[in-house]
Amino acid sequence: MTHTTSSEPATPDAKTQKAITPETAGGDRGNIKQNKVRRTGAPGEKLNILGGIGGWLWLAVIILPIYYIVITSFRTSEDLRANNQLLPSTNPTIAPFIKVLENDFLHYFTNSLIVTLSTVAVVLSASVMAAYYITRSTTLGGKRLFQIILLGIAIPVQATIIPVYYLIQQLGLYDTLWALILPQIAFAIPLSVLIIVNFVRDIPAELFESMKVDGAGEWRILTSLVLPMAKPALMTVGIYQALQVWNSFLFPLVLTQSSEVRVLPLSLWEYSGQFGIDVPATLAAVVLSALPLLIAYIFARRHIVAGLTAGFGK
């Protein structure tokens, strides 16, 4: 089975897909020219139109709130009350953004960055090592461990927050960045291990064995064989978990308190209370907090979507 290549068809980019399989458009509901000739059934045409209408309709649903955030963040709150809120301001201003930046935004941003990067770094290294052990272990241990970790996917974060709160308090870590990093690593591990195991499993056993014959130790096998082969999985896991951690709300809400260790989602929450009726400033903070992800998405869209679809599709 060619599992490593099975991630290819998931590439979201239509052009690449077309190039690989010009005529074999898999689940294509909406026909390419060649198919149109063959598919002459009237009901088919009808569904296609419906699909198109539905697609554009959903786009409107998605875009309206985003458009609203952006245009509102460039106006004053007087402007918001006086004019039609769905039209861009005639006097755009960046004052809301300045207000947010003057209110420690960069500090919160840095906290989020520290928490996200360290969580993801540890999740990736711990998961890839665990995945190597699980796939190559000859004892029952590997299999058992995998089963327990799979069970972990079904553990809801929300349901364990009370003991986690107790634990963090007892460890003296309440209201520190550690309180955010350590539990989030733990909750990211099950899904990450699952995705990485699915990739590592596809590495032919011969490669492991020939490396061993050449005298390579565990670390060498891990770094020169497992890591490069699992790269797509690591990207998927890294991106997905970074999104989760960057946007997480419950852990910061329960496990931190002071503004010193405040992260972005919580800062938005605080801003909305602090700024009160200054809705544009609150929404400017929303824009600023989403901006890094948006920039990352613009530059790495193909990898992000391909990674997510391949990782979960497997």
Partner 1 sequence: MTETASRSKTTGLGQKGPSFLMALPAVAFFGIFALIPLIGVVVISFMEWNVLGSPEWVGLTNWEAVLFDRPFTWTALGLTVTFVIGSYLFQAPVALLLGVFMAGQQRYRALLAVLYFLPLLFSSVAVGLTFQSLFSPNYGLSAALPFEWLPNDWLANSDLVMWVMIFVVGWCFVPFHGLLYQAGVRQIPASMYEAATIDGAGRLRQFFSITLPQLRYTIITSSTLMLVGSLTYFDLIYVLTGGQPADAVRILPLDMYVTGFASYNLGYASVIAVILVAIGLTLSLLLNVLSGSSKMDSDKAGA
Residues 126-185 that bind partner 1 (CB under 8 A): 126-127, 129-130, 132-134, 136-139, 141-142, 145, 148-150, 152, 154-164, 166-167, 182-183, 185
Q: Which of 19, 24, 91, 215 binds partner 1 (CB under 8 A)?
A: 24
- Residue 209 CB-density burial (10 A; 0-12 exposed, 13-18 middle, 19+ buried): exposed
List binders of partner 1 among 188-247 (CB under 8 A). 189-190, 193-194, 206, 209-210, 212-213, 218, 221-222, 243, 246-247
For residues 134 and 207, what is the distance between their CA atoms, to the nearest angstrom? 17
- The torsion angle over the Cα atoms of residues 130, 132, 135 and 136, rounded to 10 degrees, is -120
Minimum CB separation of residue 306 from partner 1 in Å reads 9
Q: Which of 116, 187, 195, 262 binds partner 1 (CB under 8 A)?
A: 187
Query: Which of these segments, 34-42, 93-101, 102-110, 228-236, binds partner 1 (CB under 8 A)?
Result: 34-42
When the beta carbons of 63 and 106 are compared against partner 1, the nearer one is 63
Is residue 239 within 8 A of residue 312, CB to CB? The reply is no
The verdict on 51 binding partner 1 (CB under 8 A) reads yes
How does DSSP classify residue 303? H
Contacts for 152-159 with beta carbons within 8 Å, 24 or more apart?
A: 152/189, 152/190, 153/190, 153/191, 153/194, 155/187, 155/190, 157/187, 157/250, 157/251, 158/250
Minimum CB separation of residue 123 from partner 1 in Å reads 9
